[in-house]
A and B are shown apart, each in its own frame.
Chain A
């Protein structure tokens, strides 16, 4: 996840509104983006560890690594997830 002090988050039904302080842009995100951000947490994880944790926490059978990578790229592009 991006540094928590750079984000302001409000949970609304199945969506999450995220205000990105650096850009001043509001994002409205829904599954699986909030779940990815929650699992990454502040400390962050490697891609393999993230895949594993998501599969375990949400009882996913086969995780689609390509789809997950695409969602991650979108979150990185938005500034909501940072790459170490």
Chain B
């Protein structure tokens, strides 16, 4: 394609091609400190392309393509090209990743042990991961936990942290020194701004961690906490996995191992300060 950007995020190499320079320039800037794919070979390709040749110039609309595609994905305006690239990368992982069991979760690490936070969109996974990152936790990722079926370890996937709506201001206040991408206003997911993971997260992107706690956070309720029984954890994690079925028996073994060995808690929280305090207390009690 006309413009190309290769990048490696944790163990996964991507090659993003685009009909336009702008999204590639943004990726080059925000992913400047990331390594390139190993041996120059990407695991997945993403293509940002114009539906018709003239749509490169006339009301430019970015179609998301790649090795794996959703047939009815709607195009995004060029101003949201960075979001299109991120969505394309997530899509390749969700549909094509076979090496790891993927859990839709944010992961942070402390003392070599990983806290896995999973929940529906809007539960506050990315926000909590970013805020814990501001308190000395290592950010391993805000979108996918990569579980190695052989070892049970979680591998980092520290892509740009996708902050939405009110979370943008909350995290900007907590991390005044951090780098952020451009504000992408009024996207299909609301306002979005990307946070660049800090140097500690990037330096340790090849260091996996043992899962120590699974957390199901839920925003918008009085602070509460409960233990989650293994069978419920099993069901919720199969729902949170994009490739559990595709992995077959390896997925079953990887998931049952986690469910049997890692404690799980559900927390309700009224605000992010409360959530951080609840997480720190749970972690201290492990």
- Measured CB to CB, the residues of A under 8 A from B are 8, 10, 12-15, 17, 19, 21, 24, 26, 28, 30
Chain A residues with CB under 8 A of B75 = none
Docked complex Cα distance between A19 and B238 (Å): 13
* B98 located at the interface, meaning its Cβ lies under 8 Å from any Cβ of chain A in the complex: no
- Measured CB to CB, the residues of B under 8 A from A are 229-231, 234-235, 238, 245, 248-249, 252-253, 256, 259-260
Docked complex Cα distance between A14 and B231 (Å): 8
Chain B residues with CB under 8 A of A8 = 249, 252-253
Docked complex Cα distance between A55 and B1 (Å): 71
Highest count of chain B CB atoms <10 Å: which of A21, A24, A30:
A24
Chain A residues with CB under 8 A of B231 = 12-15, 17, 28, 30
- Given contacts A10-B260, A28-B235, 15 further A-B pairs with CB under 8 A are A10-B256, A12-B229, A12-B230, A12-B231, A12-B234, A12-B260, A13-B231, A14-B231, A15-B230, A24-B245, A24-B248, A26-B238, A28-B231, A28-B234, A30-B231
Docked complex Cα distance between A14 and B253 (Å): 19
> B248 contacts A17, CB within 8 Å?
no
Docked complex Cα distance between A10 and B234 (Å): 11
> B229 contacts A13, CB within 8 Å?
yes
With A12-B234, A13-B230, A26-B238 in contact, is A21–B256 under 8 Å at CB? Answer: no
Chain B residues with CB under 8 A of A24 = 245, 248
Docked complex Cα distance between A79 and B245 (Å): 18
Docked complex Cα distance between A10 and B231 (Å): 10
